[in-house]
């Protein structure tokens, strides 16, 4: 029976929940909003399958990163629709053209982030673009196995720990399975995301959310929330007025300052396991690894594109073969490991938690202030504020 005593030792992938033959395991949110397995002792038959599929307990990645390249989709419209160079769309369209199924992170009807499947181009759009919240896997592993057993092509995308959980759950390779992970900084708390949204706009008034809105370009993207009346946030009013000068200087990246930068710069509200990640480095469970190619202007400027450029890594023989089929849809150039890792340092190492993490969650959980007020608390978040100011001044 799986029992989580150290929260750094559970990534929340849900493999244990999906494998349980008696449905004795559910995923329950803790006070910080992260999902952990909860076992119903009255249903558990102590078969031990949950322990066997846990990717942290059983971590033996089958692949090692090989070829690394800068890549972008040749179709500018497709590139505009994605977060960077649209490697996800490249792989997803391959799967769909073969009558297959694509799995990835999407919003549900209440703007929670969940893993879902897509079987046509219209459904696929909900899986495009980054989601800076940990996704609930629900029963996607079971559903993916069902499609694989039916002989369908399945593309499964997610964080490295999610792909590891899937592979352990399946227990064997399938020729029709394609997996792709990301260079993962860490996953923010769903509770924090929820509190931010609820204080920003009534959920029923939201029509779309884009964490990486490219109005000012891929490398100057920001979090944009679109309203049903046609307007787009951020707007400068109410609680946002103290940020007015920052908003003007940052060309509309206010919500990036408030929600995304506390995660990406100060590591304020990531999952505990992200600070002791078992899935860093070149040993991989996935066929492909995708990421933004930060720093591209510095070492391969001819590949820079305002609509986005990706890192694409080929980790398995399957990925190498598939790349040969798909490369005519790409503009690409091989790059060194050193250039990639210089601007994506969390490929090799875990993030360090903010020294204010416990203080922040205590205040958030016990409602000692609004989310906005906690982020604006210069006494508690002074290092974060200083980094934001430097960021807006041009440092990256």
Q: Sketch out the chain's domains with CATH numbers.
A: 7-53 (3.30.70.20), 63-187+270-347 (3.40.640), 190-269+354-392 (no CATH)
Phi and psi dihedrals of 22, rounded to 5? -110, 5
Alpha carbons 380 and 387: distance in angstroms, whole number: 14
| Radius of gyration in angstroms for the set of CA atoms belonging to the chain, rounded to a whole number | 21
pLDDT value at position 161? 97
β-partners of residue 35 are 29
Instruction: Give me the residues of the chain with pLDDT under 70, please.
Output: 234-254, 256-257, 377-396
pLDDT value at position 163? 98
Please state, as a whole number, how many other Cβ atoms lie within 10 Å of the Cβ of residue 220.
Answer: 15
Q: Report the largest interatomic distance among the alpha carbons of the chain, rounded to a whole angstrom.
A: 62
Phi and psi dihedrals of 143, rounded to 5? -70, -40
Alpha carbons 382 and 289: distance in angstroms, whole number: 35
Q: What is the pTM of this model?
A: 0.90
pLDDT value at position 214? 83
Angle at 388 between CA 383 and CA 390, to 5 degrees: 95
Q: What are the pLDDT digits (tens) for 328-341?
A: 999 999 999 999 99
What are the residue ranges of helices labelled H in 82-230? Answer: 87-97, 121-124, 140-149, 160-170, 190-200
Pairing verdict, β 288-292 and 67-73: unpaired
pLDDT value at position 386? 45
The single-letter DSSP state of residue 276 is: G
pLDDT value at position 373? 82
């Amino acid at each position: 029976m799986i029992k989580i005593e150290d929260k750094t030792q559970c990534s929340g992938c849900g493999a244990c929940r999906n494998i349980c033959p008696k449905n004795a395991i559910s995923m329950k949110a803790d006070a910080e909003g992260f999902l952990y397995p909860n076992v119903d002792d009255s249903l558990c038959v102590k078969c031990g399958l949950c322990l066997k599929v846990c990717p942290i307990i059983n971590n033996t990645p089958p692949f090692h990163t090989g070829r690394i390249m800068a890549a972008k989709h040749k179709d500018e419209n497709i590139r505009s629709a994605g977060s960077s160079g649209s490697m996800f769309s490249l792989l997803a369209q391959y799967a769909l053209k073969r009558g297959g199924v694509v799995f990835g992170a999407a919003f549900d009807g209440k703007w929670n982030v969940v893993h879902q499947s897509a079987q046509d181009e219209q459904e696929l759009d909900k899986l495009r673009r980054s989601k800076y919240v940990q996704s609930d896997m629900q029963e996607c592993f079971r559903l993916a196995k069902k499609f694989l057993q039916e002989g369908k092509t399945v593309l499964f995308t997610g964080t490295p720990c999610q792909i590891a959980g899937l592979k352990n759950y399946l227990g064997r390779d399938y020729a029709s399975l394609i997996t792709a992970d990301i260079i993962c900084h860490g996953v923010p708390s769903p509770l924090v995301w929820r509190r931010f949204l609820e204080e920003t706009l009534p959920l029923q008034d939201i029509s779309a959310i884009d964490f990486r809105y490219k109005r000012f370009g891929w490398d100057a993207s920001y979090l944009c929330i679109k309203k049903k009346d046609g307007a787009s946030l951020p707007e400068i009013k109410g609680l946002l007025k103290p940020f007015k000068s920052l908003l003007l200087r940052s060309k509309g990246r206010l919500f990036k300052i408030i929600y995304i930068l506390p995660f990406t710069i100060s590591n304020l509200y990531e999952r505990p396991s992200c600070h002791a990640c078992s899935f860093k480095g070149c040993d991989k469970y996935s066929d492909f690894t995708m990421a933004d190619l930060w720093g591209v202007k510095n070492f391969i400027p001819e590949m820079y594109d305002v609509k986005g450029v990706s890192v694409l890594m080929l980790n398995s023989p399957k990925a190498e073969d598939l790349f040969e089929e798909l490369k005519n849809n790409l503009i690409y150039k091989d790059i060194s490991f050193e250039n990639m890792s210089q601007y994506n340092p969390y490929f090799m190492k875990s993030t360090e938690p903010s020294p204010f993490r416990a203080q922040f969650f205590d205040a958030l959980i016990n409602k000692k202030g609004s989310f906005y007020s906690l982020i604006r608390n210069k006494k508690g978040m002074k290092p974060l504020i200083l980094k934001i100011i430097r960021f807006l001044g041009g440092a990256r």
